[in-house]
Amino acid sequence: MARAFLVVMDSVGIGGAPDAGEFFNGDRPDTGANTLGHIAEACARGDAEEDRSGPLRVPTLDALGLGAALTLASGMTAKGLGAAPDGFWGAAQEVSAGKDTPSGHWELAGLPVPWEWGYFPDTTNSFPPDVLEAAARLAGTDGVLGNEHASGTEIIARLGEAHQQSGWPICYTSADSVFQIAAHEETFGQERLLKLCRDLAPILHERRIGRVIARPFIGTPGAYTRTGNRRDYAIEPPGETLLDAVAEAGREVITIGKIGDIFAGRNTGTVLKGADAALMDHLRDSVATAPDGALVFANFVEFDSLYGHRRDVSGYARHLEWFDAAIVPVLAGLRADDLLILTADHGNDPTWSGTDHTRERVPVLAKGPVSGQGSAKELGVVGFADVGASVAAHLGLEFRGAGESFL
């Protein structure tokens, strides 16, 4: 029985979203943002030379159609991304009114977001008094620190010492629909932080705030470091997703990385976590051991969290090159009737202004059987939801989600 592997390279956008002008980083619209294209251009110019050098080298992804997808999506051609595809490839365009993680993943799983997300628009004094009161009450403190839009690493560096002295949690947000709480794992306590976020989440979800995110850190003043124990408490998807269809058919679901959090734990099966290197090990092991009929759904977040938001072009390029090499044994381990799709959930152009996601099309690169076709096929521009519909069709499932299979 066929198996399916859906792998999200978090934030690896390829430009070209026709509605990019409706989305902003500060006062600047996302028109012209192109995560992959601008990284490749920077590499070719010699502007991404930290711990790597020269043009972007991703031969495995390019052979699957990454460069061709970039040109299809945005019209851009880039040095080092000119291979003739030997997989089937295209670009996907989102309809949900958000450029955030839940919107992208839910729609990839066949569920476009049916509402407008709630946001905190003010850059300072961002949160309503009742939300601040609830956060302090649930934390057992007299108040909170932060109450602003901020970069997570910056606000921890700036307020970490005051947090350790007062015990007050650090609360902040971004342009996404999120409420984030940072706290020291040792002096505040990791389990206490997770409970605080879990208890606060329903209050924020009532306001259509998509996620309450626990951001634990360790260290001392001047040397704070976020840990890998982040946890997202997301709104439960408001309709059927690909995960539901697989589980209801009695098939095994394996979720790797943030997927379990993004889908609020609903039908997320075996949940495997870790840094991206460990997640790649989990993916490779899943290719070797997942049973017939299984869905493996993975998210590799460090493109986004470590390099996109921090506007680190060299780091993003290094991670693309690492991923390109690391995915080789995964592809080699696939069975003849397996389907693997590589895609993304939004953009996060590290050359752009601001620190937030960018509205972009994303690549759709697939290896596996294509009915009536040879080994290479151009898909054109498809919908995010078509990805989930295609996975469901490959697995032979009846699926009531949005989208149409491109198989």
Name the binding residues for Mn(2+).
10, 304, 309, 345-346, 357
CA triple 285-88-242, angle to 5 deg: 60
CA distance linking residue 338 with residue 341, whole number of Å: 10
Distances in whole angstroms, Cα of residue 332 to Cα of each of 7, 288, 365: 15, 10, 15
The token pair at 163 is: 């947090």
In Å, how far from its chain's centre is CA 67? 21
Which candidate, 29, 33, 22, places its Cα nearest to that of 361?
33
Counting every residue written for the chain, the total comes to: 407
CA distance linking residue 256 with residue 253, whole number of Å: 10
Those residues whose C-beta lies under 8 Å from the C-beta of residue 284, and which sit 6 or more positions away, are 329, 330, 333
SS3 helix, strand, coil % of the chain, rounded to 5? 35, 20, 45
8 Å CB contact between 216 and 153: no
Specify binding-site residues.
10, 304, 309, 345-346, 357
Neighbouring C-alpha atoms within 13 Å toward the C-beta of 148: 12
CB atoms within 10 A of CB 129: 8
